Structure 1
Amino acid sequence: MDAPTQEVTTMVDDPAENVDSVEGTAATDGEEPETDGGVRAYTVRLELVDEPGELLRALAPISENGGNLLSIHHERGNITPRGHIPVEVDLECPPDRFDDIVGALRDAGVNVIQAGAEHYGEEISVVLVGHLVESDLSDTLSRIEADVDAVLLDLSLAAPDGTDAISSARARLAIDSGRSDEALEAIRAIGSEKELTVVEPLLGGEA
């Protein structure tokens, strides 16, 4: 079942700054964008911190790079494993502008969970075993996401003897299609640095 959605105005600094004012920037800033090759609709799924102004900051690179906002779904009822809020943005733009938009979002520090039908087309699951808490599990996961260009979809932690002892964590990650070997190599390197055992591969999220 799809997660409940809320109006986008819940995350802006000023209640008067609603979706209409944001959408207007795509159509009124400078000249009309080039439409060579036609205009296509795309969906970009973002992961945002629940803080005032974060949504407007994330939407700016879209309009600045020739994208036109169609709709925004703000899923406050579906928190990601890192405690962030997924936001799904429907937009339209010329096909040759889409990669620029995704790149601009990442350059602005926005976590792009999914962009277009082909992005993040594969899942892998790995189990990390060791002193996960002492080695800073949050940092480990952030490093994996950054180095692998992956998104953490699900995390389960087992620490039967307490967080000071050996524990294990199962992480399910979304990655680009065809990059599983590269992703696993990066995860192994991070595990080796932190003296963690990496049990893999568990493809497609299977246990």
Structure 2
Amino acid sequence: MPSESTPAPDEDAVAVEESDETDAETDGGRETELQAHTIRLELVDEPGQLLAALEPIADNGANLLSIFHERGNLTPRGRIPVEVDIECPPARFEPLLEDLRERGVNVIQADAEEYGDEVTLVLVGHLVDTDLSGTLKSIQDRSGASVADIDLSAPAGAGSEAHSSARLRLRARADDIPDVIATVREVASEKDIRVIAPLEGRR
């Protein structure tokens, strides 16, 4: 089924706007300007999952702007990626993300600033023959980290018995770095790739 881009339901927008009027007003006017954010979620392909993921957005006083629902493009774990655009006061964004996670919604990306820490690893093995781009996509989809830089050294070329190596720099939240490394090891083990990590700790 093709990807779908749908506007936010009117009733949700109205409900959220009313909440903003009630909660965001102070004696000096509105507490702050609204800021736009993009959140990428990973949902189980079951009825009601999308609605359950959207409820915390309204409950935390955010305005739902749009939803990009990629039903035809499942993640390696067989889940549906959903990209949600919202706007809310800055102080409400982190509590909203925490609420999503507490309700069991898998948040795999939330704005660039959520991925400000870095870790550097080295992958060694038949990287080209085992589809390096697919390996990187699996790492990103399953860990929520983003690839900041990659330096591939494969002098023997594809089809050679010799191993190639890649210096991989990943960006993620500081608290998520241990889980990111564990996910990289998990993905690598599926392709018989060795992981050397971390190099010089986090930056």
TM-score tier, shorter chain, comes to 0.5 to 0.7
In the TM superposition, what is the alpha-carbon distance from 1:8 to its structure 2 partner? 5.4
Q: In the alignment, which residue of structure 2 is the partner of 1:81?
A: 76
Distance 1:173 1:188 in 2: 12
TM-score with structure 1 setting the length: 0.56
Query: Over residues 59-107 of structure 1, what are the superposed CA-to-partner deviations in whole Å (9 max), with x where a residue is unaligned?
Result: 1111101111011110112211100001111000000111111111011
Letter in 2 for 1:151: G
Partners in 2 of 1:189 and 1:75 — Cα distance? 27
- Do residues 27 (structure 1) and 7 (structure 2) align? no
1:151 alignment counterpart = 144
Deviates more, 1:28-37 or 1:63-72: 28-37
- Assess if the C-alpha contact under 8 Å between 2:20 and 2:61 holds in 1: no
Q: In the alignment, is residue 100 of structure 1 matched against residue 90 of structure 2?
A: no
Q: Secondary structure at the match of 1:24?
A: helix
Change (3 A) 1:25 1:123: farther
Residue 199 of structure 1 is matched in structure 2 by: 195
* Residue equivalent to 1:176: 172
2: CA distance between counterparts of 1:80 and 1:188? 16
Cα distance change, pair 188–28 in 1 and its aligned pair in 2 (3 A): closer
- 1:26 to partner: Cα distance: 1.4
Aligned to 1:45: 40
Mapped to 2, the partners of 1:38 and 1:76 lie a distance apart of 34
Post-superposition CA distance 1:175-204 (Å, at most 9, x none): 5255686447767999xxxxxx9622399x
Number of aligned residues: 153
Match of 2:100, SS state, is helix
How far is the alpha carbon of 1:119 from its aligned partner? 1.9
Question: Residues 72 and 200 of structure 1: is their aligned pair in 2 closer, same or farther, counting only changes over 3 Å?
Answer: same
2: CA distance between counterparts of 1:126 and 1:85? 30
Percent of aligned pairs sharing the same letter: 45
- Structure 2 residue 24 is matched with structure 1 residue 5: no
Query: Relative to total residues, which structure has the larger helix share, 1 or 2?
Result: 2
Match of 1:194 in 2: none
- Greater shift, 57-66 or 29-38, is seen at 29-38
Task: Name the residue aligned to 1:134.
Answer: none
Q: Report the equivalent of 1:112.
A: 107
Contact 2:38–2:84 (CA under 8 A) maintained in structure 1: yes
Q: Give the superposed CA RMSD.
A: 4.2
- TM-superposed deviation, 1:28: 3.8
Which entry has the higher C-alpha Rg, 1 or 2?
A: 2
Listed as ranges, the gaps of 5+ residues in structure 1 are 10-17, 128-144, 154-171, 191-196
